[in-house]
Chain A
Amino acid sequence: MTETDRVKVKRRELTDTFLEGKNMSKVYGMGRKANRAVDNVNFKFRRGEIVSIVGESGSGKTTLAKMILGLTSITEGQLEVHGQPRAFGTTAEKREYWKNIQAIFQDPFSTYNVFSKIDKVLLNCIELRGQKNLPYAQKVEIMTEACSFVNLRFAELTNKYPFELSGGQMQRLMIARIYILKPKLLIADEPTSMVDACSRATILDMLLKLRDEEDMTIVFITHDIGLAYYVSDTIYIMKSGQFVEQGTSDEVILNPKSDYTKRLLSDVPSIYEPWDLSSDDVEEDEFAAASGGDS
């Protein structure tokens, strides 16, 4: 907490719009039971920035991420990549789109194929990059470099299965994959919620490194506004499918305008101010939360 010799975090100017969402909605169900999980959202993600989407469980964060990833269809509105509507008709177009996009999910234990060893996981990435015919020695070089990027030692990992690693190490291996693939867009859906505070610091710093070195756009989805503030350039606050506040991190966190943001901020325990546990405004429709909840 002293300002002695911690490495300063770089800040940059950003202009180039990379991904743009226009009036995007996702409706689950039909008729009276229709549930607008994402309701008419607009956003602009620029190249080389980390965008955080912050909201409670069931606010539609993950649905939005799935729509960007193309894992679920967009009910209304459209998604534009470099000003062009995302083409998603044919398999070839899908493949083309997915080349530039990668994701890290919440649960590291269910991300990997339990039957393939770690070097296989990384070799697959090199093949995906179109370097299948590279000599093995060069492949090893690439893998070693990727592992050292995330502070893992490749030599120790080659003969292990992913489940032999700890949760934090698995998430880091995931980042090593991403380092090899070098996508333009990375979606990190609560990548730190299942690891401890120490590994969390490492993972967040790696995301910052990816942004700075690879000029990657990272969408960081979280419910913890503190993490979002540390890691991101822009923050979108999401509540029941809509963005209630958006802006640069400093704007949103230091001068929050909406009451919801203020509430989220007060929900995070701080060590500098006493934590106010008295407010009762969180109690609203608790039973309703279960139906629209985290599925």
Chain B
Amino acid sequence: MADYILEVNDLKTRYVTRFRENVYAVDGVSFKLKEGETLGIAGESGCGKSTLAMSLMGYYFPPLHYTSGSIIIDGREITGEDPEVLRRTALGTEIAYIPQAAMNALNPTRKIIKYINDVLVAHNIRLNKKELREMAEERLRLVNLPVEVLDRYPVELSGGMKQRTVIAISSLLSPKILIADEPSSALDVSSQKLVIKMLLDLIDKGLVKSMIFITHELPLLYNVTKKIAVMYAGQFVELGPAHESVFEPLHPYAKGLMGSIIVPSEGIRDEHLVAIPGTPPNLKAPPQHCRFAARCKFRQPLCDSVVVPERFASDGRLFRCLLPEAVLRELKYEDQIKSKQEDAEVELDVNIIPFAGDNGDGDSGKESGG
């Protein structure tokens, strides 16, 4: 049973607004994670990355509501459990979550060691003062944080330091899965490096079995995680190994996203970046057909009329696009700017596969090895 440490099947969650409108922020996400694996989730603001992170905890509070699907952590299904039981037995021990500006969670009038005590008390672990201090010090040494932090107030620490302290606290009970939701986006590059180093350390030392890392910074993701999922409008549009996802993306959206990468290396100054025009669809009423169709450069007539299933490429990567794999491998995002006018569309029309539900990946055999 416990082949996978985390198994998510067709998870759907929604927000209910004040006006009783549903916002389908996570709409059919499935993935599996083995022990020791790290998954990165990339995407624009508002694509549902953070909602997915919160949904994965299985602990829902308004306005977030659970619709359907299942989350199985190490053989234990956490969906449908009583929230109070879940909070005491799963959060922090099975799965832990670090929000974006985690450092703002610290109350400036309490010392760090009090928070550590709070976490333990909430999980029915009672220690006396001496034991608590010994335990906390040992833990901090393990994650390379100075022990003096324990007796500081949060205001005395720098932003990066606060963030690392929060990470240390949230991983205190050695959760199986750690979800880090943009843990470094409020920090400068040097503090970011320390935070990332610490997260990777946690996995190396076995304090955390597996990590889900969320960010929009693709170069960062590429360096932190082994697998990258690209999310768009509540769905995964691509999921594959980090190297392939960055250098040979399949889905048109992923291709566009990779065009916005900025790294300080020779040559990037000579060309303008490629930004995807338009805005993501409104998730109150997401389109039934391909969600990216309205912004897609390679859009075909069929894209507006059929539901796009999750398809798998010959190397096992997931993608959600109607175009055949061989065609997608050949296409470059920039190409279409030039040949948008007439001839390219005719050429592509020939390769369109008719949508037939179950045999979506039927013709991936004629791959050209692009």
Chain A residue nearest to B186 (CB atoms) is A193
Question: Which residues of B171-226 are within 8 A (CB) of A?
Answer: 187-194, 196-197, 200, 216-220, 222-223
CB of A115 within 8 Å of the partner chain: no
Q: Compute how far the CA of A290 lies from the CA of B269 in the bound complex, rounded to whole angstroms.
A: 35
CB of A180 within 8 Å of the partner chain: no
Contact digits for A193-206, partner B, Cβ 8 Å, 1 yes 0 no: 00111111110110
Task: Return chain B residues, CB-CB under 8 Å to A294.
Answer: 159
State whether A290 touches B44 (Cβ < 8 A). no
CB of A213 within 8 Å of the partner chain: no
Of B60-68, B273-281, B309-317, B355-363, which stretch is located at the interface? Answer: B273-281
Task: Return chain A residues, CB-CB under 8 Å to B146.
Answer: 286
Task: Return chain B residues, CB-CB under 8 Å to A227.
Answer: 262
Q: Compute how far the CA of A287 lies from the CA of B158 in the bound complex, rounded to whole angstroms.
A: 6
Contact digits for B349-370, partner A, Cβ 8 Å, 1 yes 0 no: 0000000000000000000000
- Min CB gap A156→B, angstroms: 11
State whether B263 touches A270 (Cβ < 8 A). yes
CB of A80 within 8 Å of the partner chain: no
State whether A290 touches B263 (Cβ < 8 A). no
State whether B219 touches A286 (Cβ < 8 A). no
- B189's contact among A195, A225, A229, by CB below 8 Å, is which? A225
State whether A4 touches B218 (Cβ < 8 A). no
- B334's contact among A4, A226, A229, A277, by CB below 8 Å, is which? A4
Q: Compute how far the CA of A269 lies from the CA of B196 in the bound complex, rounded to whole angstroms.
A: 11
Q: Compute how far the CA of A151 lies from the CA of B278 in the bound complex, rounded to whole angstroms.
A: 9
State whether A201 touches B190 (Cβ < 8 A). no
Task: Return chain A residues, CB-CB under 8 Å to B161.
Answer: 286-287, 289-290
Which of A151, A166, A201 neighbours the largest number of chain B CB atoms within 10 Å of its CB? Answer: A201
State whether A57 touches B191 (Cβ < 8 A). yes
CB of B33 within 8 Å of the partner chain: no
CB of A92 within 8 Å of the partner chain: no
- B45's contact among A1, A168, A204, by CB below 8 Å, is which? A168
- Min CB gap A27→B, angstroms: 22
State whether B274 touches A201 (Cβ < 8 A). yes
State whether B275 touches A293 (Cβ < 8 A). no
Whether A2 touches B332, Cβ cut-off 8 Å, given contacts A168-B45, A205-B272, is: yes
Of B6-14, B16-24, B118-126, B253-261, which stretch is located at the interface? Answer: B253-261
State whether A7 touches B272 (Cβ < 8 A). yes
Chain B residue nearest to A205 (CB atoms) is B272
Task: Return chain B residues, CB-CB under 8 Å to A198.
Answer: 44, 216, 256-257, 260, 275-276
Task: Return chain A residues, CB-CB under 8 Å to B156.
Answer: 287, 290
Task: Return chain B residues, CB-CB under 8 Å to A151.
Answer: 277
CB of A182 within 8 Å of the partner chain: no
State whether B45 touches A196 (Cβ < 8 A). yes
Question: Which residues of A152-196 are within 8 A (CB) of B?
Answer: 166-169, 195-196
Whether A272 touches B158, Cβ cut-off 8 Å, given contacts A7-B271, A282-B190, is: no
State whether B194 touches A282 (Cβ < 8 A). yes
Q: Compute how far the CA of A225 lies from the CA of B265 in the bound complex, rounded to whole angstroms.
A: 10
Of A68-76, A139-147, A260-268, which stretch is located at the interface? Answer: A260-268
- Min CB gap B80→A, angstroms: 34
Chain A residue nearest to B216 (CB atoms) is A196
CB of B268 within 8 Å of the partner chain: yes
Task: Return chain A residues, CB-CB under 8 Å to B257.
Answer: 197-198
Task: Return chain B residues, CB-CB under 8 Å to A208.
Answer: 272
State whether A5 touches B223 (Cβ < 8 A). no
Q: How many residues of B contact A (CB 8 A)?
A: 60
For the side of the interface on A, what is the size category? 35 or more
Task: Return chain A residues, CB-CB under 8 Å to B265.
Answer: 270, 272
Q: Compute how far the CA of A1 lies from the CA of B268 in the bound complex, rounded to whole angstroms.
A: 9
Contact digits for B215-254, partner A, Cβ 8 Å, 1 yes 0 no: 0111110110000000000000000000000110000000
State whether B46 touches A4 (Cβ < 8 A). no
Task: Return chain A residues, CB-CB under 8 Å to B155.
Answer: 290
CB of B84 within 8 Å of the partner chain: no
State whether A5 touches B219 (Cβ < 8 A). no
Task: Return chain A residues, CB-CB under 8 Å to B273.
Answer: 201, 204-205, 230
- A195's contact among B45, B190, B223, B272, by CB below 8 Å, is which? B45
CB of B264 within 8 Å of the partner chain: yes
Question: Which residues of A1-19 are within 8 A (CB) of B?
Answer: 1-9
Question: Which residues of B318-337 are within 8 A (CB) of A?
Answer: 332, 334-335, 337
Q: Compute how far the CA of A52 lies from the CA of B261 in the bound complex, rounded to whole angstroms.
A: 19
Q: Compute how far the CA of A268 lies from the CA of B196 in the bound complex, rounded to whole angstroms.
A: 12
Task: Return chain B residues, CB-CB under 8 Å to A224.
Answer: 189, 262
CB of B135 within 8 Å of the partner chain: no
CB of B157 within 8 Å of the partner chain: yes
CB of A137 within 8 Å of the partner chain: no
Which of B189, B190, B272, B274 neighbours the largest number of chain A CB atoms within 10 Å of its CB? Answer: B189
CB of A30 within 8 Å of the partner chain: no
State whether A271 touches B263 (Cβ < 8 A). yes
CB of B338 within 8 Å of the partner chain: yes
State whether A6 touches B190 (Cβ < 8 A). no
State whether A277 touches B193 (Cβ < 8 A). yes
CB of A25 within 8 Å of the partner chain: no
CB of B266 within 8 Å of the partner chain: yes
CB of A275 within 8 Å of the partner chain: yes
Q: Compute how far the CA of A4 lies from the CA of B256 in the bound complex, rounded to whole angstroms.
A: 15
- CB-based closest 5 A-B pairs: A201-B273, A6-B271, A289-B158, A223-B188, A201-B260
| A binding-site residues for B, Cβ under 8 Å | 1-9, 56-57, 151, 166-169, 195-202, 204-205, 208, 223-230, 249-250, 253-254, 263-265, 267-272, 274-275, 277, 282-283, 286-287, 289-290, 293-294
Instruction: Pull 8 A–B residue pairs with CB atoms less than 8 Å apart, ordered by A.
Output: A56-B190, A201-B262, A205-B272, A230-B262, A267-B190, A270-B265, A271-B246, A277-B197
| B binding-site residues for A, Cβ under 8 Å | 44-46, 146, 148, 152, 155-161, 187-194, 196-197, 200, 216-220, 222-223, 246-247, 256-266, 268-277, 279, 332, 334-335, 337-338
- Contacts A4-B334, A4-B338, A9-B270 known; list 7 others, CB within 8 Å: A199-B275, A225-B264, A226-B219, A265-B264, A268-B264, A271-B246, A275-B223
